[in-house]
Structure 1
Amino acid sequence: MSFSLVSGNRKNLWIGKFSIIPEDMFVHGISTRHGGVSKGAFDSLNLGLHVEDDLEAVRQNRDIFFEGLELPKGQGTTCQQVHGSKVVKITKAQAGSGMYNFEESISDADALITDEPGIPLMLFFADCTPILIADPVKKAIGVAHGGWRGTAASIGAKTVELMVKEYGSRPEDLLGAVGPAIGPCCYEVGEEVSRQFKDAFPEFYDKIVIDENGRTRLNLWKANELQLVKAGLRPENIDVAGVCTACNHRQFFSYRADKGKTGRIAAVLSIK
């Protein structure tokens, strides 16, 4: 298994791909910050509509990324991402929600699932964890936004649970991918956050919270990986990018490294 950047169909457009997600059944990609038209702090492929970037530039960036993925324009479906743990089932009637207008995004949700072909699910990140889930048996997908709050609330596991309920997915059939996010090298947290993770995951707390030299650091990658295993995914069916967005903030947007004013990368997953 591996995560790598591949060249898109435009100069300086790079798309992150997971080898575990079969290309004959699904279209997926993680964007970088390169290849777009935004300026300044949002240079250049900012895909977030909610970060005070120029609206038309973001719309153009989204079209650029979808062209790179060879997906039809206008069908991307997204949610407003409130750092919660609500998962929403997407049908054809909701296709395109939030693609060009933030106000039209699915409200009060941080994860989406669908079994409809041709409806790309699209979420946005700048240090939080992209979680992609694909069911090659039932042909269903899910994408989740795992910030520390969502991760502590088991949003990845809740995405799996709703796919099981709605589509009859079997966890052992599911393929999971944990995308670029702030790594344990850079993510120092306070006592409130570490305590919530101790309460949420006492069985593997020592694997996700590192206490060294009076500092406490959180491993969101591992927390989401182990959460998926707990939900029933096979460890060998989970691919973790292991790429820190803060360390690599010249390649990916990082809220922490860029001191709060920055763009957003996107994770997109669609059924062919």
Structure 2
Amino acid sequence: MESFKESGLLFELMEWKEEYKSVIAGMTMREGGTSEAPYHSLNMGFHVNDNPETVRTNRTIVSAELNIPADCWTGSEQVHQAHIHKVSAKDAGFGSMDYESAIKMTDGLYTAEQDVFLTSLYADCVPLYFYNHRKKLAGLAHAGWKGTALDIGGQMVKRWADDEGAEVQDIMAAIGPSIGPCCYEVDDYVMSRMTEVLGNKANRAAAPAGEGKYMLDLKEANRQLLISSGIREENITVSNFCTSCRNDLFFSYRKDGGVTGRMMSYIMLKGDSPDS
């Protein structure tokens, strides 16, 4: 069963929505905004050479859809590394309506505070979501192949265990829509990096596709790494959607030839609805 469900302009993480009242999580889709080609239409990224005013309009549309004001939003300057930043209320608004104020050199965000809306941007890379209802922690991580090779998901789990005292078995993780093994061909170098981080599990996440070529399943690679980090397999939910196959719903860097918009993943601990 698909863990994300279309709702207006959004893909909501329904599995968590139905079980927990104190967290909202999901992802924007491609349609419903004001951007013109090649960023049409609900581009959420300031860094892709779209008109900044248009991106602000798109973000205002999503803000209204979610009923969450933009001054609660926090975003980061994603650089395909594994740095993780703990977000507090003082960071609220950074990166919400411009790129310059985004938290620098960061691909993972988490918070222990309510009503702080975390965001991250995608066009094929893997969106990772984290939630711990006992410790009231919520986080996002951006896992392209480089972030996957650096085990950014495992780094988030370790940070929560070491710095927040979270029991790993209580952490829930979700893997959102991203490019699938049907469409993601990589070379020997990328595969060697996957083998370094995955060890003998690498063959579960890739299949040979000719001389020096492989079809890589980044979602499965991240799932295996999350399991290795100690998260229970039953606590990990994975989207079936491939962003390249469903280019009608999602921006895809590969399908769109490298010039395209960005979807936005999001997560927030709600201040008005404690878990039952």
Partner of residue 242, structure 1: 240
Partner of residue 233, structure 1: 231
Q: Structure 1: which amino acid aligns with 2:219?
A: W
Is 1:160 aligned to residue 140 of structure 2? no
Is 1:136 aligned to residue 107 of structure 2? no
Matched position secondary structure for 1:20:
helix
1:201-240 correspondence runs (5 A): 201-214=198-211, 215-240=213-238
Q: Structure 2: which amino acid aligns with 1:3?
A: S
Structure 1 CA distance, aligned partners of 2:169 and 2:130? 12
Structure 1, unaligned stretches of length 5 or more?
Answer: none
Partner of residue 124, structure 1: 121
1:7-156 correspondence runs (5 A): 7-8=7-8, 13-21=9-17, 22-156=19-153
Partner of residue 4, structure 2: 4
How many residues are paired up? 268
Structure 2 CA distance, aligned partners of 1:239 and 1:69? 23
- TM-score, length-normalised on structure 1? 0.95
Greater mean alpha carbon deviation, residues 17-26 or residues 109-118: 17-26
Matched position secondary structure for 1:100:
coil
Is 1:266 aligned to residue 261 of structure 2? no
Matched position secondary structure for 2:186:
coil
Q: How big is the alpha-carbon RMSD for the aligned residues of Structure 1 and Structure 2?
A: 1.3
| Alpha-carbon offset, residue 69 of structure 1 | 2.1
Q: Structure 1: which amino acid aligns with 2:121?
A: F
| Alpha-carbon offset, residue 23 of structure 1 | 4.5
- TM-score, length-normalised on structure 2? 0.93
Q: Structure 2: which amino acid aligns with 1:63?
A: T
2:120–2:140 contact (8 Å) kept in structure 1? yes
Residues 253 and 69 of structure 1: CA distance in aligned 2, closer, same or farther (over 3 Å): same
Runs of 4+ in 1 over 6 A off after TM superposition: none
Structure 1 CA distance, aligned partners of 2:191 and 2:254? 18
Partner of residue 273, structure 2: none
Structure 1 CA distance, aligned partners of 2:165 and 2:67? 29
| Alpha-carbon offset, residue 105 of structure 1 | 0.5
1:205-263 deviation per Cα after TM superposition (whole angstroms, max 9, x unaligned): 11012114444111100011111111111111111002110111111000000001100
